[in-house]
Structure 1
Amino acid sequence: MWSALSRTVVNLCRGRQQKRSPILKNDVANSPTSLQTMPPAQITGDQISDYLINHPDFLERYIMDEVEVEQLERWIIRKSQRLKKKPETASRNGRKTSLSRWKFCVHADKRQMLQDLTHSLQLKPTKDHVLWELANCICSAVSADGFRLYLADKDNPENLALFLGIECKNENGEPKLQKIKSGVSVPYYVSKTLEPVRLSRGDSDPRFPDGIPNDGDIAHVLCQALMQPDGQLAAVLELWRREHEGPFYEEDEEIASSYLVWGGIALHYAHLYLNMNKQKKLNDFLLAVVKSIFQDMVSMDALVIKIMNFAQRLVDADRASLFLVDSKSKELYATIFDVGVEKNPDECSNGPGDNEEFVKVDTSKEIRFPLGTGIAGQVAMTGEVLNIKDAYADARFNRTVDQLTGYRTNTILCMPIFIRGSIIGVVQMVNKHSGLFTREDVEAFEMFAVYCGLALHHAKLYDKIRKSEQKYKVALEVLSYHNSCTEEEYQVALKKGVPNKLIGVDDYYFNPFAVEDFHKAIYAMYMFVDLFGLGRFDKNCLMRFSLTVKKNYRRVPYHNWTHGFSVANSMYSLIKHSAGAFRTNECLALYIGALCHDLDHRGKNNKFMLETESPLAAIYSTSTMEHHHFNQTVTILQQEGHNIFAKLSSAEYKQVLSLLKHCILATDLALFFPNRAKLNVLVQENAFSWNNPEHRLLLLAVSMTGSDLSASAKPWDIQVETVKVIFEEFYEQGDAERQSGRVPIPMMDRNQPDQQAASQVGFLTGICVPCYTILRTLIPETKPLLDMCQKNLERWRKIDDEKKEKQNTI
């Protein structure tokens, strides 16, 4: 190029380029006089350089009009190679050589090559296949007689040995691996330096003292490196010619280099495609795993088999084992330790297409060994993945199992399973079917191990829940046996029968202490039959239900069976005396709710349950005991022969249970205050409507409170006896609070008995009288309750005043 430009510049300056482009003639007038008069032999390169630097337009026009495209391409490739050798120059120029080479690759055959590579990507988009197609294209483009393609070791990229590639295959159709000796071969040199090499037999090159190995009739070689998109070596292409074909020239090297640009792009897209395809397959596999594991979670053993089966398929292993960590004994254990997929011989009669796989499991006995023992024990202790390529060459490998079973372990991939940062197990894959376990196997299995951890964690929880459920069922059976009425009690009640008439039971002032406990159940049956009859209810169910309710009240001082019966009796009286105020199902919920409203009461209030973090408080954060009472009621109804609502229609049954829950929860005094406030507003505004469901629910709630507090509306002797047992229960709670380090309130402090009268005055004034006042307003027939409550209040006030006067005197 330089000599051509020199002649062109001189000739233009002397006016001798008449046949050249007219554009170039215009530069003669501007050419230096010295160049016009000097003979060509005296013109120096520096002068030509100065001229071209000062006249860049001339240089550009010359190249565009006079230089062939292929020659221009070769120049660009040479420039790119020089920049590649001098990275600091490329950095200053700010140009990416690969992009420059891409722009100027215009060889005529490259279009067809692109079509071939595109077709190859569509049919078999693997890196090896793309390299094979590319090598064929380059071989044809430079008229080589043949080629060898050496693939870099993908598992050990730092290993500079290369493997003989695609055209040489083994019996399984896989590339035959042939290592190249270090420092003597041309391909190895290219892999080290990434520089192209042209060499002919007989050439004296100090880099290759042995020259071209005596390999058939190969006389000339051209060797070039092909890089991956990430900058790693992908392969080395060695082109060769026979003696009579002549050596490779610089032009051949340039053509091959230009082709390699296309190959790099093809590799890039093949790499993207393979990564997306692998990720898709892995995602599909993991989705199938998750569905299978979490949909069919039956037992831990079944889950372990599934996990090992999936893991084995994921990495194409011959055997799989899963060991769980026993954190208490610091051991690994497994009840299922050897899973393999084999062909079922019974399914092979119809040809290979009909063969079905089955899982072979060894569950002969549990295996246990300390952490740190063997490969699995080491992984469990360190949490590191181990990929063993030769088990017998690894000192950590335990050969005992092989010796006992006759099985030969070659390769091992062992990985820990974590949950919440702790190792809960180890999965061990043995003997990959196709060679060694790869880095891709490790990466895929690491993702799979996350799902293994979640599945095992949930399986353990599932096992605990299942065992707890079975324990609950057993406990329920025991409780059902001990908390249900006995057959003897039932037979006695059946023999006595339900009385036809009981005088005075419907009196608001009926004395519950006058009736023996067993007869209270008979009285409860009588009141039920008197209110609802036996048309829709079974007499035997009613007897069993009443006797079992009696048995499920605890023997505490106040909230016992006597209290439950007393509240039911008060509700019975309220319903009897206020005929028409409540509907049938409301009456049913009110009466049964009153009878069961304190089932299994422990003699402690809700505040105590919350402060002591009782299990009931953990289940029910509000109205703790009241929710428990309702659930106990439902439990009794569910026992065989106890469902007194069995003959109700589905809609009635649902309505009664809903009302029953509402009524029992209403006995929480914390709910009384908002209920009374709402009713007071309705009454004061004359807005209460008997047809409004919400208004009726408020009335039901206040009616339950009135019945629950009915001891305050009993005659004085009954009132005093009730207050005595109430305070005994209060004092027991106060004692429990004192034992736990808390100070009980004065009302619950047995060391302050003088507080009884004052507390009763406050209780009757703040709760009882307001309750009966609103009840009397809406149900006038309840006036006796208000009257007796007020009388009792006056007597408690008198007692309280006397105590205060006595204290003042002292």
Structure 2
Amino acid sequence: MEFLRLMMERAVAFWRNRRFFKFRSTNDNHNRNSTDEKDPKPKEFAEEEIHAYLKSHPEYIESYIMDEVELELLERWMIRRTQKAKKLNYANRKTSLSRWKFCVHADKRQMLEQLTQQLQMKPTKTHVLFELSSCISNAVNADGFRLYLVEEGTDILTVVMDSESFDDEGDPRIMKIVDDASIASYVASTREPVRFSRGDCDCRFPNGITDKDTQHILCQAVVYPDGSLVAVLECWRRRNGPKFHEEDEEIGYSYLVWGGIALHYMSIYINLNKQKKLNDFLLAVVKSIFQDMVSMDMLVIKIMNYAQRLVNADRASLFLIDSKTNELYATIFDVGFDDEIQNKMNSPRGAKETTEKLKSDEIRFPVGTGIAGLCALSGEIFNIVDAYSDTRFNRNIDQITGYKTDTILCMPIFIRGSLIGVVEMVNKRVGFFTKEDEEAFETFAIYCGLALHHAKLYDKIRRSEKKYRVALEVLSYHNACSETELEKIEKMGIPATLTKLADYSFSPFDVDEYQKVTHVIFMFKDMFSFNRFDQKSLIRFVLTVKKNYRRVPYHNWSHGFSVSNSMYAIIKNSKTVFRPNECLALFIGSLCHDLDHRGKSNKFMLDSASPIAAIYSTSTMEHHHFNQTVTILQQEGHNILGKLSSTEYKQILSLIKHCILATDLALFFPNKAKLCNLVDEEKFSWSILEHRLMVNAMAMTAADLSASAKPWEVQAETVKGIFEEFYDQGDAEREAGRVPMPMMDRNQPDQQASSQLGFLNGICIPCYSLLNRLIPETKPMLKQCQENLIRWQGIENDMKKKKESTE
């Protein structure tokens, strides 16, 4: 243990004084004798023995250091150890952040905070370097500093910044190097720190310190983590100041390591910031190009205008490829740099006027002619600094226009690997086109290609749309209501009062086809503020809806009217439950929910490979019903929502779609399960949009199935139509070689009662029970459905008895 104690004491003495075991080699007998007198016991051990023991027992050193040595002393040891390694092989050194994880100096943290602030205010390398130099100068108590900047990628000093020289805006002044900078040059080439005082004799610096006010200098290199030089910092003290010591060098070094790391990340930040600005510009370009794509000519003007702004060019031209003739052509070219053009292009009228003004006779020339032609031929970028010294340049255009071309940047535009055009930028407004311009323009060219490609597609679509409109006009002539029908409804007049319409028991069989139209208009006017709607448009809309219901046994105009009437009753009786826009969507959705129904189920449409099923793989017929609704609204004189704002129109149309799709019974079951859970767990809230949408869907199902909640006579009459339609589908399935379901087989009429029992028990009763919990005013629907269930149960029982008696 005595041996261990002595070893630990000597180890601490070594790191603190850097004289470990120098008593064996020193010529200072006095110090040696003094040490021996105070502690003679180290003589008993050989240096090799101590080294060997410490190497084999490192845990003892660690234990002592962790308990006894201060953190700042540990930090200095780490710096000295790193400097020693640096001197051995500085050129290959790469600073590791892990070497500085023990650095806890308060000034260092303050320096990093200052650098962070500087990075946010003025994120340039020059300003951050100046801020770093100020930190180090203060940390080593210097009177000032000089910061030498180097040429990128070299060790050559270019300019200098002085801590005492600033411009009018308060920024550090950058000056050319005029005084001797031999010390800074030496540090730049060797990366080794130098401490020098006036009067020191050093053959490396024959001129010494030339500045008459400077007495002492501490000069150090500022490097990136990979070892590349950024700058050289020279801190100085005046004649009355003390010399710089090794501790000052250590402090400066530790700051510079962190400063190099900060500068490294700052350069990354600057590059990212440049990229972000380019991305923001390109995003603005894409939005502008694709948002208002009206014509090819307008698109070409926008592309040229944005291209000019991107590379700061004075003129721009865009030539497209005619693949049939292998020529380049343009109707708009040589567009000047003009902010007024850009402003005009932002309005439809201004855009049209600008396009007409800039359009000229079409220019055509073969691929391979001139700079643009050669660019198209080779598919390469052409960056010409002096056009007149390039033999490929055609001077004829300049002679005709009187405009002198100096610099050119010409780039091909590709889409899916095929050349579609060439953009030519002429005369950089300041200097000449750089590599950075080429890279930015190359990225921009990708979006140009996409825009031009889609513009061509857009033109094709527009032509197709014209054909579609012609077909729609022909179809509308046969499929829309006639003026005679409109006049007939106007003569009939809209009833002033119809109190029974709000009863859940109202029978659709009590009114004829045209009375149903007047009743729908009455319900519409009764629920909604009619100054927001045009009455003639409403009459046309309802008449055309009536006309677009096919004459099938069940999903016909009578069914559409009945469902809209049931929704009217739900809305009127529940009063404030639904919001105005929801009421409008629910009513229109109910009225139109089975438009153009073919009397066949979704499954039948899929199995029979119907064209509609090819368009919509889920909720096939429901999607078709919604599209038919939109088609009617788009017909001239039919848009009952025309007076609404754009936002309100979109909202209501979205709600109508939600309501119509909700009539697909495949969606009923998951919707019911979610609602039941919410109600059972007391989590349902009318203020939550998602909950309201689920109730809207449940109300649509309730209205769609309302025949089951009508008085028995209405229910029985409706079921006749339902089964007739079922049997028609069964017949079609049998003709196609498929076996129909029993309830769709007209040869099994005894299945009617049992199928109705399953339908009422499995769908109708659960639907009305849940709706009753949410909207208590709908209880009559549940009650009537339960009564009908009892009647069907009775019929089923009678049939069973009859069957048993015959057997």
TM-score computed with the length of structure 2 as normaliser: 0.49
Which structure has the larger Rg? 1
TM-score computed with the length of structure 1 as normaliser: 0.49
